[in-house]
Copies of this chain bind each other. A is one copy, B any other.
Amino acid sequence: MSVPLPSLDQIRDAAARIAPHATLTPVMRSDALDAAVGAQLYFKCENLQRGGAFKFRGACNAVWSLTEEEAARGVVTHSSGNHGNALAMAAATRGIAAHVVVPDGAVRAKLEAIEQAGAILHRCAPTIAAREAKAAELQRATGAIMVHPYADTRVMAGQGTVVLELFQQCDGLDALVTPIGGGGLSAGCAIAAHGIRPAIAVYGAEPAGAADAAESLTRGARVDNFTPDTVCDGLRALIGESNLDALREHRVDVIAVSDEETIAAMKQLWHALKLVVEVSSATVFAAVLKQRERFAGKRVGLVLTGGNVDLDALPW
């Protein structure tokens, strides 16, 4: 599904729209991690965002972009993860209904969180086709507006607000690294970063077991059929079509990291920053460690995307 990419102005509008609801997340630093890379690292802590992930930004922008008439019909999405929860929370800020389609077998704690945020859960078989069919059915039945997790202009604009904040919090960044899953964050951030600071180098970190963005860029055509094999549950989605266009247009350099590298990086982040970050977030630090010669001496912004982990099943 191809959707228009947001402009820098639309990202700025998104920032104004979500400001009353979203958390201005802090940027953290660590001498030990700087020394490990030989660079100055600025960690943008979206694990401290509402709902524990950057996803609230995009969902909130989508919800508050609706007209009164649209909003009255509610919103719908399919996601058993951070986006479902984010949309539920965002809908609650406007007092509108949120329908979240969740596959059978999804983690119960996540579903409880989504329900607790006030959404109505709808179960379906655990396939992409079943999810999409169920969401379409709900759109027809309720008139609710679809808010896709990443193939959505409003969502990409919302995620791009991470960079507007980061640039206000630290001057003169030479490079920016975000994880790549469906590409909502990486596309929004690349657009915002180059819009403000054309010389910045933009990187994406992708699990080697879900490196469809890297492969799509290399091949020159979008991979649209693969089976992810990674512990990074937030990064298993196929890159969206428009999202891939944004990465190509902004010459985003993708660094693939193994799960072992990511898990080791996650532990280093917990240890040095004293922050709970989820495994998907750690890909950015794993990527910088892996290719440290490209970052040596630079000022590097890294987006720590979320902190929703199962403390009873840590990956090490």
A residues near B (Cβ < 8 Å) are: 26, 28, 47-48, 52, 267, 270-271, 274-277, 307, 311-312, 314, 316
Q: Given that A274-B276, A276-B274 are contacting pairs, would A267 and B316 also be in contact in the complex, using a CB cutoff of 8 Å?
A: no
- When distances are taken between beta carbons in the complex, the residues of chain B under 8 Å from A311 are 267, 270-271, 314, 316
- When distances are taken between beta carbons in the complex, the residues of chain B under 8 Å from A276 are 270-271, 274-276
Q: Is the CB of B274 within 8 A of A48?
A: yes
Distance in Å: Cβ of A109 to nearest Cβ of chain B: 10
Q: Is the CB of B307 within 8 A of A274?
A: yes
CA distance A267 to B311 in the complex (A): 8
Q: Is the CB of A312 within 8 A of B316?
A: yes
CA distance A312 to B316 in the complex (A): 8
A277's nearest neighbour on chain B, judged by CB, is B274
CA distance A48 to B275 in the complex (A): 9
Most buried by B among A26, A28, A275, A277: A275
Distance in Å: Cβ of A115 to nearest Cβ of chain B: 14
CA distance A243 to B48 in the complex (A): 36
Distance in Å: Cβ of A117 to nearest Cβ of chain B: 11
- When distances are taken between beta carbons in the complex, the residues of chain B under 8 Å from A267 are 311
- When distances are taken between beta carbons in the complex, the residues of chain B under 8 Å from A307 are 274
CA distance A271 to B47 in the complex (A): 11
A270's nearest neighbour on chain B, judged by CB, is B276
A29's nearest neighbour on chain B, judged by CB, is B23
Distance in Å: Cβ of A284 to nearest Cβ of chain B: 16
Distance in Å: Cβ of A44 to nearest Cβ of chain B: 14
Distance in Å: Cβ of A137 to nearest Cβ of chain B: 33
* 21 pairs, CB–CB < 8 Å, chain A vs chain B: A26-B26, A28-B48, A47-B274, A48-B274, A52-B274, A267-B311, A270-B276, A270-B311, A271-B276, A271-B311, A274-B275, A274-B276, A274-B277, A274-B307, A275-B275, A275-B276, A276-B276, A311-B314, A311-B316, A312-B316, A314-B314
* Beyond known contacts A270-B276, A274-B277, A275-B275: 14 more, CB 8 A cutoff: A26-B26, A28-B48, A48-B274, A52-B274, A267-B311, A270-B311, A271-B276, A271-B311, A274-B276, A274-B307, A276-B276, A311-B314, A311-B316, A314-B314
Most buried by B among A52, A274, A311, A314: A274
